[in-house]
Amino acid sequence: MKKLTYRNRYKIPVVLLTLALLFVMLFPFFVMLSTMFKGSTEIYVRPPYWIPKTFAFGNFVKVWSEYHLFGYFMNSLLVGLGTTALNSIIIIPAAYAIARFRFRGRSFALYSLLAMQMFSPVIIIISLFRIYVKLNLLDKLGGLILANTVITLSFTTWLMFGYFASIPKEIEDAARIDGCTRMGTLTRIMIPIAAPGLVTAMIYTFIQAWNDFLFPLSFINAQKKMPLTLGIYQFVGRWSTQWEMLNVAAFIALIPVLVLFFIIEKQLVAGLAGGAVKG
């Protein structure tokens, strides 16, 4: 009985607090929902108002047909997925090695992973640009995939390392006694057990690539290769910004990631905590 009263006493204030926090956190999206239905002459009106007068659904058609939004969207998606794939291929063996093998330079490797969180794209971009010119990687989605992989590599390796390290050695030993090779244990035992961590690492990577702004700003010229973050800037003219279109584009850009998040939400959360705890 005591337990129940405990819960009940806090329930109402907690719900109210949650609602208040939600209101604050979602405020820009309320503004987005209001703005994206406004007609182009309803944007620069003083004082502004919340409920659009016309509900211009045409904005959605326009952003899709006139502004190549689909192309930007696909580019963002390709870069996101490409980065996620390349990143996973590279980090799994590295993280496994650091977690399971004793070798010279192991703690150096661990510290380096941490240290590399400090290097922002702003700092490496000039040299990266020169390398890209030599390797003919400018204006290529591949170039963006590579750059984002480099930036996400350290955190995701760290995360996976935490996961692998948390798996009891006995499980692996048992498998090896049964005749499994080292590679076999990795693919057949370790990876499946560490799946939540891997999912988290993949999501993290995807989000980073999806958010990326500075790399495409510097490396991409061709409109056909622009991701959403850059493409959305075409609504910012020299003399005014078409906010209604920008908000429509922002909304469309948000939906797929949101759906993805909702689907894997549970695993994502567990993964983040798991990796961190053991890390």
DSSP for 130-143?
HHHHHHT-TT-HHH
Query: Rule CB under 8 A: which of 156-195 touch another protein?
Result: 157, 165, 182-183
Q: Give residue 270's Cα distance to chain centre.
A: 16
Q: Output DSSP code: residue 224.
A: G
- Which lies closer to another protein via its Cβ, residue 123 or residue 171? 123
Tokens of 129: 């640009």
- Which lies closer to another protein via its Cβ, residue 165 or residue 167? 165
Choose the binding region for another protein from 51-59, 99-107, 169-177, 187-195 (rule: CB under 8 A): 99-107
Q: Give residue 45's Cα distance to chain centre.
A: 36
Nearest Cα residue to 138 out of 83, 78, 218, 73: 218
Candidate list 51, 118, 177, 179; residue touching another protein; CB under 8 A: 118
Choose the binding region for another protein from 53-61, 86-94, 167-175, 187-195 (rule: CB under 8 A): 86-94
Query: Rule CB under 8 A: which of 130-149 touch another protein?
Result: 130-133, 135-138, 140, 142-143, 145-147, 149
- Which lies closer to another protein via its Cβ, residue 40 or residue 175? 40
Cβ proximity of 278 and 163 under 8 Å: yes
Least distance in Å: CB of 17 to another protein?
6
- Which lies closer to another protein via its Cβ, residue 171 or residue 276? 276
Least distance in Å: CB of 247 to another protein?
7
Number of residues this chain uses to bind another protein (CB under 8 A): 137
Distance CA 274, CA 162 (A): 8
Query: Rule CB under 8 A: which of 22-61 touch another protein?
Result: 22, 25-32, 34-35, 40-41, 43-50
